[in-house]
Structures are given as structure tokens and as C-alpha cells.
Amino acid sequence: MCNMSVDCDCCSVAEDPCIKDIGILASTDPVAIDQACIDLVKNSKDEGKAHFLERVESRHGTHTIDVAEELGIGTKEYELIEL
């Protein structure tokens, strides 16, 4: 979770990062790690999170997390272990 911008990192001209780096996450569960990323942004005290979350929510960006869990790809439940 570094250099987070509202644009996809595949954009040739992406907007500058709007949130300070949160850290590096790892998991064998793609659904859990995506949910953890969203939760960490929501719980962040960074003022840039409002801009980031507006973009995610206006495009139903968490819909893929919900559907992936429904399809059995993983679970939104996780345990965050800080090292």
C-alpha cells in the first residue's frame, strides 16, 4: 500500500498519490487482503483518504470483493498481524 493514487497503476498518466504509504501486506487469500486494504484506508487518519474512498465508492470498487467472497475465492475475514 504505497504510492496510492485514485487511478489504476496501469494508467500512463496517473494522478499523484493522495494517501501516505500505509505499508506492505501479504496474504494467501486475495479477498482478505483486498478487504484489509480497504479497511486500513478507511481507518487511516490521512486526510487524502476522502478523495481515494470517494473514487472507490463512486465506482462500486468494493463490489469485486463481495462477489469474490460469494464465489468462494476467499473470505473477507482476516487477522492483521503487524511486524
- The whole-angstrom separation of Cα 29 and Cα 33 is 6
Question: Where does residue 3 fall: left (phi above 0), alpha (psi -120 to 50 degrees), or beta otherwise?
Answer: left
> Where do we find the cell 493514487?
5
Residue 68: predicted pLDDT: 97
Q: What is the pLDDT of residues 43-73, one digit of tens each?
A: 999 888 898 898 889 988 899 999 999 999 9
Domain ranges in the chain?
1-83
Q: What is the pLDDT of residues 1-18, one digit of tens each?
A: 877 777 676 667 777 767
Per-residue three-class SS string for the chain: CCCECCCCCCCCCCCCCCECCCCCCCCCCHHHHHHHHHHHHHCCCCCCHHHHHHHHHHCCCCHHHHHHHHCCCCCCCCCCCCC
